[in-house]
Amino acid sequence: MPHDLFPPGIQHALDLAGIFVFATAGALLAVRKNFDVFGICVLALVTALGGGLFRDLVIGAVPPAAFGELSFFVTPLVAAAIVFFLHPEVQRINRAINVFDAAGLALFCVTGTTKAYEFGLGLTASASLGLATAVGGGVLRDMLVNEVPSLLRDREMYAVPAIVGASMVAVFIGVGMLNPLTTGLAIITTFVLRLLAIRYHWRAPLAWNRRSAVAEEP
């Protein structure tokens, strides 16, 4: 098993930051859907921990950090409580969801890739698992609220920024240049790319030469 790429404190802080912002995005979506307090907490937990839980099971890090670290379980509940009492007006919720979701996407594609590599996976496999870590919670969140997961439609490039960020981390690892500065660069690049995609409605291409008369679903 390779040595740790980051001191445990830095890795833990990045994980907690990702958990908090993803939990906030999940809780805000629950508010938009008019869920009660229990629904808000469940959606916050699923969004925050789903991707990391999948990653840990794949790499054999058992029990998963979500069950072994009390802070990983408490942090989403804190985010849910903050949203429950202090969420913005309804017309501003969608914007807040997008910003927090982009931040979680950026943080988790980095931490997922580095943790997978630390457990002995190759660079390509590590980047793939970093992507899964970043989008896994969002997929579960969307399924629970009966929406087509953003990953499958990739509206406004949901998965592409995570692929870019995870790939950047894998390249930095491969050339021996992964450090706090390059890690921050990967996080910022993913975050900004996702927000630009939302702002300018960038999206992944549809099927080549699609001529179906059926309108695309909203």
Q: What is the pLDDT of residue 8?
A: 67
- With beta carbons less than 8 A apart as the criterion, state whether 51 and 137 touch: yes
The pLDDT of residue 7 is above 90: no
Residues of the chain with pLDDT > 70: what percent?
Answer: 89
Q: Shortest CA distance to 28 belongs to which of 106, 92, 108, 104?
A: 92
Which of the four pLDDT bands, split at 50, 70 and 90, describes residue 154? Answer: low
Q: Residue 90: pLDDT above 50?
A: no
Are 199 and 99 a contacting pair, CB within 8 Å?
Answer: no
pLDDT of 5 reads: 66
Residue 89 confidence (pLDDT) above 70: no
In this prediction, residue 2 has a pLDDT band, given cuts at 50, 70 and 90, of very low
Between residues 177 and 87, which one has the greater pLDDT? 177
Would you state the structure tokens that stand for residue 39, as one six-digit string? 């629904």
CA distance 20 to 30: 15
Q: What does the alpha-carbon distance between residue 38 and residue 56 come to, in Å, rounded to a whole number?
A: 26
pLDDT for 169 beyond 90: yes
| pLDDT exceeds cutoff 50 at 200 | yes
pTM to 2 decimal places:
0.85
Interatomic CA distance for residues 17 and 118, integer angstroms: 20
29-87 pLDDT, tens digit each: 999 999 999 999 999 999 999 999 999 999 998 899 888 889 999 999 999 999 998 87
φ and ψ at 73, to 5 degrees? -85, -35
Contact assessment for residue 116 and residue 130, using Cβ atoms and an 8 Å cutoff: yes
Lowest mean pLDDT among 60-64, 122-126, 204-208: 204-208
pLDDT at 123 over 90: yes
CA distance linking residue 160 with residue 87, whole number of Å:
29
Structure tokens at 165: 């960020």
CA dist., res. 177 & res. 175, Å (int)? 6
